[in-house]
């Protein structure tokens, strides 16, 4: 967390101490070189691991921030949709979004089932319809919260990620982005509390925000909203994405994929 984020968390965090994804720690505040350190409570963003175990493909362990309950059972099948108490479980949304932007699946029809149990809240199990058809760049990896796509210029110029040309179906006046960003920011409870979270949102051409997510990792936040749209079955046609982060190759490639 930077100094501005720490001040924001200190000023605004007291009223949001119970926000999921936020924890309170004791710290020392040093206001200046000649000022004694004082004890203070500091609200910081949580980081945990989530393993996506894809049968016959591999395991992917992500360092992420859970911003909703992980103590309930959840499941998904294309025929039944989301199963469980939560409308769109965050763990399943992240797993689906990650599998999609990694190129492991082309859509939810490629998923036979997904499940997450209270006994193992840090694991999402996914079974694919045709795992033998999957061609993936990496298997059995740990993806940290700061992990990005790395590679040479040739890797990008040769389109090693298999990205397609995005059709020009929607254009917005620049003035329309400020209200959209403000709407996304209004949903950023973890950032308001800590000053240390990234956010992503998907909006449609009418200016309606369809999904918002926060996470310590910017790529997780984007995968979460992509996954929510996938599991809702509503599609990405004539939609755009808002990001609190820089537009790295990884983030742009995820948006292109969607």
Question: Which residues carry out catalysis?
Answer: 147
Q: Tell the burial category of 80 from Cβ atoms under 10 Å away from its Cβ (0-12, 13-18, 19+).
A: exposed
Q: Tell the burial category of 163 from Cβ atoms under 10 Å away from its Cβ (0-12, 13-18, 19+).
A: middle
Distance CA 220, CA 198 (A): 9
Parallel/antiparallel/unpaired status of strands 74-77 and 58-64: unpaired
| Cβ count near 84 (within 10 Å) | 15
Distance CA 220, CA 222 (A): 5
CB 213 within 8 A of CB 200: yes
**What stretches of the chain show up as alpha helix (H) in DSSP?**
3-12, 90-101, 153-157, 177-186, 189-194, 218-232, 249-257
Residues 6+ apart with CB under 8 A from 164: 256
- What is the dihedral angle through the alpha carbons of 142, 147, 149, 152, rounded to the nearest 10 degrees? -100
Reference 205, options 233, 170, 255, 236; nearest CA is: 170
């Amino acid at each position: 967390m930077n100094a501005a984020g720490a001040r924001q968390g200190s000023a605004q965090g007291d009223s949001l101490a119970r926000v999921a994804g936020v924890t309170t720690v004791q710290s020392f505040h040093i206001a200046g070189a000649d000022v004694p350190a004082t004890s203070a409570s500091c609200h910081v963003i949580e980081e945990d691991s989530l393993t996506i175990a894809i049968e016959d493909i591999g395991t992917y362990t992500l360092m992420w921030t859970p911003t909703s309950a992980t103590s309930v059972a959840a499941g998904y099948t294309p025929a039944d949709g989301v199963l469980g108490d939560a409308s769109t479980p965050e763990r399943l949304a992240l797993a689906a979004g990650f599998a999609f932007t990694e190129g492991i699946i082309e859509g939810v029809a490629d998923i036979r089932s997904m499940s997450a149990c209270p006994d193992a809240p840090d694991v999402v199990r996914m079974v694919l319809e045709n795992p033998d058809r999957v061609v993936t760049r990496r298997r059995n990896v740990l993806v940290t919260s700061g992990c990005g796509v790395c590679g040479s210029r040739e890797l990008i110029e040769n389109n090693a990620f298999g990205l397609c040309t995005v059709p020009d179906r929607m254009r917005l006046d620049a003035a329309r982005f400020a209200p959209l960003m403000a709407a996304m920011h209004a949903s950023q409870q973890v950032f308001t509390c800590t000053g240390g979270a990234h956010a992503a949102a998907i909006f449609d051409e009418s200016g309606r925000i369809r999904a918002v997510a926060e996470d310590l990792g910017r790529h997780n936040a984007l995968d979460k909203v992509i996954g929510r749209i996938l599991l809702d079955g509503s599609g990405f046609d004539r939609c755009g994405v808002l990001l609190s982060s820089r537009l790295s190759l990884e983030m742009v490639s995820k948006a292109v994929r969607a």
